[in-house]
């Protein structure tokens, strides 16, 4: 049996009572994990126990079975740390619900639900969830959705959103299309973790589509009864939880009331959120939330496919730390995350999900980043010295408001406040072109907040014992209270006696104090001596010394006198803490009044931290990033990215990234078709375009030598192949769903990225769809579009539509080595069409059997009708009109063949002998078929090879 199982056990009576209770316990849903709290440890049972055993202990051998008879209940014991780790994984990564039951009796016969949590509602479990971990880039927003019919009969959606971490309430109503693309984008932009829908059995088939969108968005879906979507008492409820207007003192002003009354569906959705989060059941939520109307037009729309294709976040586990280790730049978030504070990490996550559409706001961010890029001293001083002193002020604000903060929390806030004057002075020293902007955004607000906290700083300096803080003990100053002073004097006298014992022990053992022997303490053992393992022999035959334990750090031991003095000191410590409790409570009560400015300061520090992080990343890139020039769509400037690079790939070890230009221009072409071999860089090329445009619109410098970006209202993608068998969605169906969403939601100002559309069906169907979709986007929608494909026939679209241009990625085939040809990818993008896909070359490079390769070549030769072999001329290879010349050669060849067949039809072949027929055919061939037509030459060669 494991040490854990031995340490945590239930007696026979508790086991029987618990087993009996579990038999009547209702089964939990698949996405709910149930835990039973036994004060010192926790237990999980049935399927939950098996799950925990596999995830935590990596073995089912840890399972214990309680109860009698055939139906014994599988059980696993969990420590506090085990549970913390498991709960973080379940809530933040796997999107499970958590329920913790607590025992009402000693026997375990009665249990009650003590707390519950879900990805969108972490309120009741925050202390457990983040007890030993800072709250990082995760959000805990829950969104509720209510569909309604507009007067015109369209599909309209109302949403209510509540984030319990930032304490924001948002509502919106908007018109949507058949695939609910606006709703999908809204869920991504808000960073919702959970979505509430009315129970599907009460809904129409239209709402079933809505549920599919929610599931596809990667959030936990929770069905709620219809009665919770009632807005009857919403105004009254909001009056209790919204903050008061500082000027008028009103809790709910006329503007908020009007917004609610004009949005019936959003009001119903918001009422469901408030009920689900049980905000009215806890007075700590009163007068704490702010109300906003969410405007979709403020931010770029991102669909789930683009969110995944651009690799914005590596996975959901990036929302919290993993052993304090720094992640590699495997996603845009991890690349840009050089933030020092936790509030900045959350803000960075929000900015990536909400790229801006206001060109002036984008320019402001870029100018601030430029100020930190140009002023190296300013950037490094703030980054290296001041930002790290600020705690998670958002979380601190909540702790102080709930009055469960500690003296240590007061000290953490104090440390940040002490940095503000020096931070303001550092910012004020900047004298470049953006000095006024720095003053407006940071220096002036920071100075004003510093004045607001003057009394708080004075209180901390007056009450806290800073000498004890150096020993990692947080106490009220002894002279603050007569009884505390008396206890402190007693501890000081006791400490002197312990120092005397220490001197005596050092002399007796003939060891140097601080080196050979040390006086140490711990909360469990009190004060004790420690010598190194090397000096352990000096303790032998010394009956006055009692060994506590031995480990790699050395031997810990005490004497009778030291043990007595340590007990007296610890007792005085406990009395001191009890005596100062009333003073601490009063300090925390006063500090709670500063929860509002703490939030404001946290927001300000977060913005400063993120912008400096952008500057750090831009400067320290393998090739420094450049400031993009941004334009509004009305200026019609297009998108020009010179020597553009993928920001994540260029950070990989041993990678020498090949940059390429990307250009869209309304006057010439806005639709790019990219052909070329597998592994040649087509997918990287189109994805880096989307990622660079997004970086520009969040206010970050871009990995280019020069960048001009017209703001796009959406980045929509159809990239990669995947299916979902559970939902009954095949690879091709997934392609069609995503493409349908693009066709319905893209506008002229959108950026569309499509990679290998049409592979999931037959060649003819796939090409037909690819052609029709491309033609529709290029001629009807007019979006900026990058289309990577192996359908070389698609390049003919450039002849029909003037806004379409052909590009190709280059590769070289070399001499045969080890019975296989060499294939060198150049990763350069050039104008024109690639004349082959190199698919068989790739197969040869990975050592396919020879007979398979030969068979593939013969079949390809039989089926090839389009890909004409042109002369190997450097000018022809780089000619952008290659495709047009191919089609001209093919057309001329077909006309010659038709004339040849017509002439042959007029000959009386029946009257000729075999030799005469041969002679006549040669005459017709020489007179009618020119020797320089490559189309006919290729056909004749293929016929000869097959024969």
DSSP string for residues in 900-928: HHHHHHTS-GGGS-HHHHHHHHHHHHHHH
Question: Nearest CA to 692 among 373, 379, 355, 339?
Answer: 355
Helix (H) / strand (E) element for 687: namely helix 682-697
Residue 317 pLDDT level (bands cut at 50, 70, 90) = very low
Can you give the pLDDT at residue 452? 94
- Structural domains counted in the chain: 6
My answer on whether 265 and 153 are in the same domain is yes
Which residues lie across from 141 on neighbouring strands? Answer: 163, 192
Look at residue 449 in the predicted model and tell me its pLDDT. 94
- Evaluate if residue 877 carries a pLDDT over 70: no
The dihedral built from the CA positions of residue 350, 352, 354 and 358, taken in this order, carries a sign that is: positive
Could you tell me if residue 307 is inside a domain?
Answer: no
Candidate ranges 321-325, 336-340, 432-436; pick with highest mean pLDDT: 336-340
Both 777 and 655 in one domain: the answer is yes
Query: 712 and 814 in one domain?
Result: yes
- Which residue in 231, 286, 283 sits closest to 260, CA to CA? 231
User: What's the N-to-C CA distance of the chain in angstroms?
Assistant: 75
| Contact assessment for residue 19 and residue 108, using Cβ atoms and an 8 Å cutoff | no
Local structure of 820: helix, strand or coil: strand
Q: Which of 46-55, 424-433, 686-695 has the highest mean pLDDT?
A: 686-695
**798 CB contacts (<8 Å, ≥6 apart)?**
673, 804, 805, 806, 883, 884
pLDDT at 336 over 60: yes
Question: Is 585 a residue whose pLDDT tops 60?
Answer: yes
Inform me whether the pLDDT recorded for 805 exceeds 90: yes
Same domain, 320 and 451: yes
pLDDT band at 897 (very low <50, low <70, confident <90, very high): confident
Q: Is the pLDDT of residue 588 over 90?
A: yes
Residues 787 and 933 in one domain: no
Label the pairing between strands 192-198 and 220-224: parallel
Helix (H, G, I), strand (E, B) or coil at 102: strand
200 or 124, greater pLDDT: 124
The answer to whether residues 119 and 140 touch, using CB atoms and an 8 Å cutoff, is yes
Between 817 and 116, whose confidence is greater? 116
Q: How confident is the model at residue 266 (pLDDT cuts 50, 70, 90)?
A: very high
- Both 748 and 684 in one domain: the answer is yes
What pLDDT shows up at residue 319? 37
User: What is the average pLDDT score of the chain?
Assistant: 84
The answer to whether the CB of 520 falls within 8 A of the CB of 498 is no
Angle at which helices 560-591 and 454-463 pack, to 10 degrees? 160
Q: Are residues 408 and 341 in the same domain?
A: yes
Strand order across the beta sheet in which 290-293 lies: 220-224, 192-198, 141-149, 155-163, 168-176, 290-293
Q: Are 203 and 230 in contact (CB under 8 A)?
A: no
Are 284 and 160 contained in the same domain?
A: yes
Phi then psi for residue 253, to 5 deg, are -80, 175
Q: Given this model, what pLDDT does residue 884 score? A: 58
pTM, two decimals, is 0.83
Residue at token pair 């031991």: 557
Is residue 755 assigned to a domain? yes
**What is the predicted pLDDT for the residue at 348?**
95
pLDDT for res 944: 58
In whole angstroms, how far apart are CA 659 and each of 364, 641, 662, 681, 879?
28, 10, 10, 11, 21
Mean pLDDT of 54-69: 84
Whether the pLDDT of residue 524 is over 70: the answer is yes
Alpha-carbon gap, residue 273 to 159, rounded angstroms? 10
Between 209 and 409, name the one with better pLDDT.
409
Q: Which of 834, 863, 892 is the last residue of a domain?
A: 863
Residues 274 and 367 in one domain: no
Considering the domain architecture, whether residues 737 and 837 belong to the same structural domain is answered as yes
Enumerate the H helices of 375-527 as residue ranges.
Answer: 376-381, 393-401, 407-428, 435-438, 444-452, 454-463, 466-469, 482-509
Write the Ramachandran bin of 323: left for phi over 0, alpha for psi from -120 to 50, otherwise beta: left
CATH number at residue 184: 3.30.420.110
Domain that residue 795 falls in: 629-863
The C-alpha atoms of residue 589 and residue 916 are separated, in whole angstroms, by: 114
Q: What pLDDT does residue 377 have?
A: 94
pLDDT at 839: 75
Q: Give the pair of three-digit tokens for residue 279.
A: 């905000």
**Is pLDDT of 872 > 60?**
no
Sheet holding 671-675, edge to edge: 301-302, 714-718, 750-755, 784-788, 671-675, 804-817, 820-831
- Residue 871: per-residue pLDDT: 40
- Check residue 382 and report its DSSP letter: I
Query: Alpha helix (H) ranges present in 777-879?
Result: 797-800, 839-845, 850-863, 874-877
Question: Within a 10 A sphere around the Cβ of 322, how many other Cβ atoms?
Answer: 11
Q: What is the CATH number of the domain that holds 416?
A: 1.10.1420.10
Closest by CA to 27, choosing from 87, 73, 89, is 73
CA nearest to 140, candidates 112, 115, 162:
162
Cα–Cα distance measured from residue 438 to residue 809, given in angstroms and rounded to the nearest whole number: 44
Within-domain flag for 125: no
Q: Give the H or E element holding residue 74.
A: strand 73-78
DSSP string, 705-750: SEEEEE--SEEEEE-S---BTTTTB-HHHHHHHHHHHHHHH--TTE
71 within 8 A of 23, measured Cβ to Cβ: yes
| Residue at a domain's end among 298, 324, 358 | 298
| β-strand pairing of 671-675 with 706-710 | unpaired
Q: Are 187 and 218 in contact (CB under 8 A)?
A: no
- Range among 66-70, 435-439, 861-865, 895-899 with highest mean pLDDT value: 435-439
Ranges 245-249, 310-314, 632-636, 733-737: which has the least confidence: 245-249
Q: What is the maximum span of the chain, computed from C-alpha positions, in angstroms? A: 134
Cα 947 to Cα 439: distance, rounded to the nearest angstrom:
82
Pairing mode, strands 141-149 and 155-163: antiparallel
Distance CA 306, CA 718 (A): 7
Q: Do 311 and 268 meet the contact criterion of CB atoms below 8 Å apart? A: no
Q: What CA–CA distance (Å, rounded) separates 184 from 182? A: 5
What is the band of 205 on the pLDDT scale with cuts at 50, 70, 90? low
Q: Which of 298, 330, 345 is the last residue of a domain?
A: 298
Q: Per residue in 675-716, pLDDT tens?
A: 988 788 889 999 999 999 999 999 999 999 999 999 999 999
Q: Is the dihedral of CA 453, 459, 460, 466 positive or negative?
A: positive
Degrees, nearest 5: CA angle 306-610-325:
80
Q: Residue 62 falls within a domain, yes or no?
A: yes
**Residue 767 lies inside a defined structural domain of this protein:** yes
Cβ-in-10-Å burial (0-12, 13-18, 19+) of 541 comes to exposed
Q: 623-627 — which CB contacts under 8 Å span 24+ positions?
A: 623/650, 623/703, 623/705, 625/700, 625/701, 625/702, 625/703, 625/704, 626/701, 626/702, 626/704, 626/705, 626/706, 626/707, 627/366, 627/369, 627/370, 627/373, 627/701, 627/702, 627/707
What is the torsion angle, in degrees rounded to the nearest 10, for the CA atoms of residue 300, residue 361, residue 690 and residue 711? 80
At residue 837, does pLDDT exceed 70? Answer: no
Angle, CA of 538, 541 and 544, to the nearest 5°: 90
The answer on pLDDT for 874 being more than 70 is no
517 vs 502: CA distance, rounded Å: 9
pLDDT value at 946 more than 80? no
**Chain centre distance of CA 607:** 18
Q: Is 430 left (phi over 0), alpha (psi -120 to 50) or beta?
A: beta
Q: Would you say residue 726 lies in a domain?
A: yes
- Cβ–Cβ < 8 Å for 244, 288: no
Cα separation of 537 and 497, whole Å? 26
User: What's the pLDDT at 873?
Assistant: 39
Predicted confidence at residue 819, as pLDDT, reads 56
Residue 129 domain-assigned (yes or no): no
Mean per-residue pLDDT for 367-374? 96
Claim to verify: residue 524 and residue 441 sit in the same structural domain? no
Where in 600-713 does DSSP place strands (E)? 629-631, 639-644, 660-664, 671-675, 706-710
Distances (CA, A) of 3 to 15, 78, 137: 19, 12, 35
Q: Per-residue b/e over 264-290, b at no fewer than 16 CB within 10 Å?
A: ebbbbbbbbbbbbbebeeeeebeebbe
Q: Can you give the pLDDT at residue 870? A: 43
CATH number of residue 787's parent domain = 3.40.50.300
Identify the CATH number of the domain in which residue 80 sits: 3.40.1170.10
Do both 599 and 585 map to the same domain? no
CA–CA–CA angle 601, 604, 606 (5° rounding): 105
**Cα dihedral 326→330→333→334 (10° resolution):** 10
Is the separation of the CB atoms in 120 and 97 below 8 Å?
Answer: no
Task: Kindly state whether residue 469 falls inside one of the protein's structural domains.
Answer: no
Q: Which tokens belong to 80?
A: 């506090």
Q: Is the pLDDT of residue 836 over 70?
A: no
DSSP 3-state of 531: strand
Segment 330-341 mean pLDDT: 93
145 near 171, Cβ under 8 Å?
Answer: no
């Amino acid at each position: 049996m494991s040490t854990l199982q031995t340490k945590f056990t239930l007696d026979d009576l508790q086991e029987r009572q618990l087993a009996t209770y579990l038999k009547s316990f209702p089964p939990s849903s698949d996405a709910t994990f149930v835990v039973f709290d036994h004060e010192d440890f926790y237990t999980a049972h049935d399927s939950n126990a098996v799950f925990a055993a596999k995830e935590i202990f990596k073995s089912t051998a840890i399972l214990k079975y309680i109860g009698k008879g055939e139906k014994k209940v599988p059980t696993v014991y969990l420590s506090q740390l085990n549970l913390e780790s498991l709960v973080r994984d379940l809530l933040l990564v796997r999107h499970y619900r958590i329920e913790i039951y607590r025992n009402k009796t000693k026997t375990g016969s009665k249990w009650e639900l003590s707390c519950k949590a879900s990805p969108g509602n972490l309120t009741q479990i925050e202390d457990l969830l983040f007890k030993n971990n800072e709250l990082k880039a995760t959000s805990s927003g829950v969104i509720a959705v209510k569909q309604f019919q507009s007067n015109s009969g369209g599909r309209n959606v109302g949403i209510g959103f509540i984030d319990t971490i930032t304490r924001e309430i948002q509502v919106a109503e908007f018109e949507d299309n058949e695939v609910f693309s606006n709703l999908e984008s809204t869920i991504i932009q808000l960073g919702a973790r959970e979505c509430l829908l009315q129970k599907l059995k009460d809904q129409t088939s239209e709402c079933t589509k809505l549920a599919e969108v929610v599931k596809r968005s990667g959030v936990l879906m929770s069905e709620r009864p219809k009665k919770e979507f009632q807005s009857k008492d919403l105004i009254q409820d909001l009056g209790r939880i919204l903050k008061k207007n500082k000027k008028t003192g009103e809790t709910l002003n006329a503007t908020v009331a009007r917004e609610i009354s004009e949005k019936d569906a959003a009001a119903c959705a918001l009422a469901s959120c408030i009920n689900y989060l049980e905000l009215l059941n806890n007075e700590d939520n009163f007068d704490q939330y702010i109300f906003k109307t969410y405007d979709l037009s403020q931010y770029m729309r991102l669909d789930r496919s683009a969110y995944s294709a651009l690799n914005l976040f590596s996975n959901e586990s990036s929302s919290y730390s993993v052993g304090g280790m720094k992640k590699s730049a495997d996603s845009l978030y991890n690349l840009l995350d050089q933030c020092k504070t936790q509030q900045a990490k959350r803000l960075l996550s929000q900015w990536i999900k909400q790229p801006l559409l206001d060109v002036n706001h984008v320019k402001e961010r870029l100018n601030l980043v430029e100020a930190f890029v140009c002023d190296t001293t300013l950037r490094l001083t703030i980054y290296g010295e001041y930002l790290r002193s600020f705690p998670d002020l958002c979380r601190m604000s909540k702790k102080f408001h709930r009055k469960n903060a500690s003296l240590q929390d007061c000290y953490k806030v104090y440390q940040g406040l002490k940095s503000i004057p020096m931070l303001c002075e550092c910012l004020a020293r900047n004298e470049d072109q953006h000095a006024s902007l720095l003053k407006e955004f940071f220096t002036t607000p920071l100075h004003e907040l510093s004045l607001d906290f003057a009394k708080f700083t004075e209180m901390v300096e007056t009450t806290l014992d800073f000498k004890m803080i150096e020993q990692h003990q947080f106490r009220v100053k002894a002279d603050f209270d007569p009884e505390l002073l008396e206890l402190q004097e007693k501890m000081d006298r006791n400490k002197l006696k312990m120092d005397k014992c220490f001197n005596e022990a050092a002399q007796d053992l003939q060891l140097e104090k601080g080196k050979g022997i040390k006086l140490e303490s711990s909360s469990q053992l009190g004060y004790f001596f420690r010598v190194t393992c090397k000096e352990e022999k000096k303790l032998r035959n010394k009956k006055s010394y009692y060994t506590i334990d031995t480990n790699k750090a050395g031997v810990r031991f005490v004497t009778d006198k030291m043990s007595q003095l340590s007990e007296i000191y610890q007792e005085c410590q406990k009395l001191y803490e009890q005596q100062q409790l009333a003073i601490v409570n009063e300090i925390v009560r006063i500090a709670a009044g500063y929860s509002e400015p703490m939030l404001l300061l946290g927001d300000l520090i977060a913005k400063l931290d993120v912008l400096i992080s952008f500057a750090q990343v831009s400067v320290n890139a393998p090739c420094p990033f450049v400031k993009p020039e941004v334009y509004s769509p009305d200026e019609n400037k297009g998108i020009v990215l010179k020597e553009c690079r993928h920001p994540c790939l260029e950070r990989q070890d041993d990678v020498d990234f090949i940059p390429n230009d990307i250009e869209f221009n309304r006057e010439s072409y806005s639709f790019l078709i990219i052909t070329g071999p597998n592994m040649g860089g087509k997918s990287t090329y189109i994805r880096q375009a989307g990622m660079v445009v997004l970086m520009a619109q969040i206010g970050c410098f871009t990995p280019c030598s020069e960048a001009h970006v017209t703001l796009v209202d959406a980045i929509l993608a159809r990239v990669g192949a995947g299916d979902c068998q559970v939902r009954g969605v095949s690879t091709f169906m997934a392609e069609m769903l995503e493409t349908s969403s693009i066709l319905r939601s893209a506008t002229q100002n959108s950026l569309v990225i499509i990679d290998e559309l049409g592979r999931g069906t037959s060649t003819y169907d796939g090409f037909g769809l690819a052609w029709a979709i491309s033609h529709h986007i290029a001629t009807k929608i007019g979006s900026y579009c990058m289309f990577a494909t192996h359908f070389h026939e698609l390049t003919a679209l450039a002849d029909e539509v003037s806004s379409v241009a052909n590009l190709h990625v280059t590769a070289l085939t070399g001499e045969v080595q080890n019975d296989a040809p060499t294939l060198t990818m150049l990763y350069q993008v050039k104008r024109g069409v690639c004349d082959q896909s190199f698919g068989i070359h790739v197969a040869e490079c990975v050592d396919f059997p020879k007979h398979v390769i030969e068979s593939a070549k013969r079949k390809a030769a039989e089926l090839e009708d389009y890909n004409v072999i042109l002369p190997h001329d450097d000018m022809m290879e780089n000619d952008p009109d290659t495709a047009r010349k191919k089609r001209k050669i093919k057309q001329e060849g077909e006309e010659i063949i038709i004339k040849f067949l017509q002439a042959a039809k007029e000959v009386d072949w029946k009257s000729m002998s075999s030799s005469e027929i041969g002679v006549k055919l040669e005459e017709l061939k020489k007179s009618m078929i020119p020797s320089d037509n490559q189309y006919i030459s290729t056909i004749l060669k293929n016929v000869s090879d097959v024969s």
